[in-house]
Structure 1
């Protein structure tokens, strides 16, 4: 893992990954994308992690791709590597077995907004702002559009993509881009509160549920019900489910084994 570009903070079953290019608003250079990809691949295999938080250092969460790097490319091969790596990172976030929470401060624009939309949950400071402003510089935010159009209603996505304007955290919460808009001073504590609430559940159950959520989204209703019915059967066989039901019936707190 490239520590200079992505830092890791472990707090029991919670891991916080921080983008670490503060001098460039954590813009997603190819090196940063590759460091983030490597970190995600490594963490995906750690069964002791309950929740992953992605945050940014410095004055903002992420300003998107590094336009200076892309402008200085000698040919399209670098552009291809940047966009394919970025797409792989966003898909890796969805495929992570544990829930991933974006902790957003400052700006989250273009691919930074895409990163927020790709996470399972998002907490943002009330002073943060969001945009997919590529249209303003002649570069439509086509890859951010994939995540954005799956996180918000089509007309809200098109509004952001076609106007290219900044929207407030309050507006981002209204359209469903983020879950919570909180005072800036409370951003980290609120994010940790959400993360620890999730971490208090059975990891085995949460992981089974996250995987099922994204699988059924791409299925028709009949196939989704077949999928999730079998998933409920499989869930019932978990030791934690047996323990959880027994604890509920006997009015006690469950003791999770995470299996």
Structure 2
């Protein structure tokens, strides 16, 4: 069943739904666009003039859109793109001059942290798609995503030191995602790495040519949708948690969560369908069977 959830963000926005299968969203000036269709929440950064920079207002809009997607029970994955050839160029440096003040600067960074943690903790997978440039906090967003699909020609960088502002916070998820040799190179030199470099380092999950990008994203979303929703949610939650635990503690916690997972109604349906050599019929809930 097709469902549309539309958000026009900016000075003046107009959303027009022509029918159940066509969505046309028009804006006089916009920052983000959210369209939910067939269980996929497509979030697009639409500020091409600013190279999709993460201004305070842009980040607030993204937080709103991600929360909207999270509250929709029909959403199975969130796909994030940047309109044009720049996913995001990072923070808006015009907001970071001395005359805007320390308190405003802290509001920017606190809002950025809220946004990045929301990406990490969203109950469904977040898939970021890069066909161009992801820099500074834009690269931070990429490193915070669950899955990244990119073209070989894409560029990833943390160039803050070039303007005297080291990419301290972008380096946090980056250092947790790629080897130290790669994150150190990116942070200390500020130089870009290609999509191929990023793929080899583990920053990018899937590397495809531009003409195959949409098909690959659709394939990934379909694969996620074929699984029981609440099992994927549970899996993402523990996957993130265990990375911060010592090895022995991670195994102890993992055994407990797997034992709980076994009592999900959908889990028992999956096991039974495997035994009976048929396709499972999911409820997509976290309902458990009686013990």
- Which band: TM-score by shorter chain? over 0.9
Contact 1:103 1:188 in 2 (8 A): no
Corresponding residue for 2:90? 64
Q: Which string of whole-angstrom CA distances, capped at 9 and with x for unpartnered residues, describes residues 95-127 of structure 1?
A: 101111111111000000000000011001222
CA distance in 2: counterparts of 1:68 and 1:59, whole angstroms: 21
CA distance in 2: counterparts of 1:84 and 1:73, whole angstroms: 19
Corresponding residue for 1:213? 239
How many residues of Structure 1 are paired with residues of Structure 2 in the alignment? 259
CA distance in 2: counterparts of 1:160 and 1:145, whole angstroms: 9
Query: Is 1:117 equivalent to 2:161 in the alignment?
Result: no
Corresponding residue for 2:125? 99
Q: Which runs of 4+ in 1 moved over 4 A?
A: none
Greater fraction strand: 2
Query: Is 1:13 equivalent to 2:47 in the alignment?
Result: no
> Alignment partner for residue 236 of structure 1, among 237, 262, 265?
262
Structure 2: gaps of 5 or more residues: 1-6, 10-29, 286-291
Contact 1:73 1:79 in 2 (8 A): no
Q: Which string of whole-angstrom CA distances, capped at 9 and with x for unpartnered residues, describes residues 176-201 of structure 1?
A: 11111110122122112111111111
CA distance in 1: counterparts of 2:8 and 2:39, whole angstroms: 22
Q: TM-score with structure 2 length normalisation? A: 0.86
Contact 1:61 1:106 in 2 (8 A): yes
Deviates more, 1:44-53 or 1:158-167: 44-53
Report the 3-state secondary structure (helix = DSSP H, G, I; strand = E; otherwise coil) of the residue aligned with 1:123. strand
Query: Is 1:51 equivalent to 2:77 in the alignment?
Result: yes
Within a 5 Å distance, the mapping from 1:39-188 to structure 2 comes to 39-71=65-97, 73-188=99-214
Deviation at 1:44, TM superposition (A): 2.0
CA distance in 2: counterparts of 1:102 and 1:122, whole angstroms: 5
Find the structure with the greater CA-based Rg.
2
Query: Is 1:193 equivalent to 2:205 in the alignment?
Result: no
Q: Which string of whole-angstrom CA distances, capped at 9 and with x for unpartnered residues, describes residues 44-85 of structure 1?
A: 222321111111112211110111232374312221111110
Task: Please tell me the root mean square deviation across aligned C-alpha atoms, in Å.
Answer: 1.3
CA distance in 1: counterparts of 2:249 and 2:73, whole angstroms: 29
Greater fraction helix: 1
Where relative contact order (Cα < 8 A, 6+ residues apart) is larger, the structure is: 1
Q: TM-score with structure 1 length normalisation? A: 0.96
Structure 1: gaps of 5 or more residues: none
